[in-house]
Structure 1
Amino acid sequence: MTANQANATEGTAGRATIDIVNVRLFDATPTQLFEAFSDPEQLAKWWGPAGFTNTIEEFDFRPGGAWRITMHAPNGGDFANESQIVEFVKPTRIVFDHLRPMHWYRMTMTYQAVGEQTELTWLMKLEASPESEKLREFIEQANEQNFDRLAAHVAGVIAQQ
């Protein structure tokens, strides 16, 4: 199941934002999905759009902790990103702010058990700007690719257990 929507709303700290929402059911528990993000070794394996690889320079998973990652594109481009963990409630919620180098956004990830599956919702509050409007469609698609990679990663982890 997938759902996307985008709206202009008033965001965190008075920022005008564009909300981008991606939702999918996964064949995994909330804890398995939570750990796929909170464990940097797992996170490096699936984060980003299709074809990307990652180098995690820092991952301090605590409120206020820094997350620095370089995403390596299939065409050889490198994209350094800096984020900060805002809060988390294991295994139901993770919130982080993407700070640099380009667009600011707050990502809230929620994990909700639905029978034998887990519904993962990503709510991205992207700072509103003309550039953000242009990025919206790309981000929606990139988030879906992220979900594809996460599903494959978690399936592999479960198969090894």
Structure 2
Amino acid sequence: MLERTFAATPDRVFAAFTQAQHLKHWWGPRGWTLTHCTVDLRPGGRWHYCMTCIDPTQGDFHGMNSWGLGVYERIEAPTRLTYTDHFSDEHGAVNDQMPATLADLTFEAVPGGTRVTSRSTYVRPEDLQAVMDMGMLEGIAETWDRLAEHLS
């Protein structure tokens, strides 16, 4: 579980998580940018995106594309968002060789802004270990730092 308070209303924070015009400004760790982002915000709808490494200091990662596909399951604007995040290709075909993440986010108004709580669930313990080994925890920390900057 990850939790962070952002200095913005639940409506603004929820919009940042669900609208392409916002996601393009903050989704991904530092040195990466969204070069493709489409959002169909409805249960069963898809969020298809590509993160591209634009940081030449990241060695072999520089110029790399990482495609993802989120499939929305539950949408209760602006308080809850649940989706399964898959690795995919540029056509949105799911890569079954990589672990999928069931992401359940809540957005709660608190003094000073909105507390976002993210609970990620994996089918097998090995799937969680695989994403941890990829640096996902560091990546999400940088991503949420970028979200805080975008909202300010």
TM-score by length of 1: 0.77
Higher strand share: 1
Q: Which residue of 1 aligns with 2:132?
A: 136
Residue correspondence of structure 1 range 100-115 to structure 2 within 5 A = 100=87, 101=95, 102-115=98-111
Q: Structure 1 residue 72 and structure 2 residue 69: aligned?
A: no
Q: Which residue of 2 aligns with 1:15?
A: none
- Check whether the contact 2:2–2:117 (CA below 8 A) recurs between aligned residues: yes
Give the root-mean-square deviation of aligned CA atoms. Answer: 1.6
Q: Quick one: percent identity of the two aligned structures?
A: 28
State how far apart, in whole Å, the 2-side matches of 1:33 and 1:47 are. 13
Shift of the alpha carbon at 1:134? 4.1
Deviations 1:9-54 (A, max 9, x none): xxxxxxxxxxxx1111111111110011121111111011111100
Q: Which residue of 2 aligns with 1:146?
A: 143
Q: Structure 1 residue 116 and structure 2 residue 112: aligned?
A: yes
Shift of the alpha carbon at 1:130? 3.2
Task: Give ranges in structure 2 of 5+ residues lacking alignment.
Answer: 56-61, 88-94
- Check whether the contact 2:27–2:143 (CA below 8 A) recurs between aligned residues: yes
State how far apart, in whole Å, the 2-side matches of 1:53 and 1:146 are. 11
Shift of the alpha carbon at 1:109? 1.2
Q: Structure 1 residue 87 and structure 2 residue 74: aligned?
A: yes
Shift of the alpha carbon at 1:89? 0.6
**Moved >3 Å (runs of 4+):** 129-132
Q: Structure 1 residue 51 and structure 2 residue 31: aligned?
A: yes
Aligned pairs, number: 135
Q: 1:57 to 1:50 in 2, by over 3 A?
A: closer
Q: Which residue of 2 aligns with 1:61?
A: 41
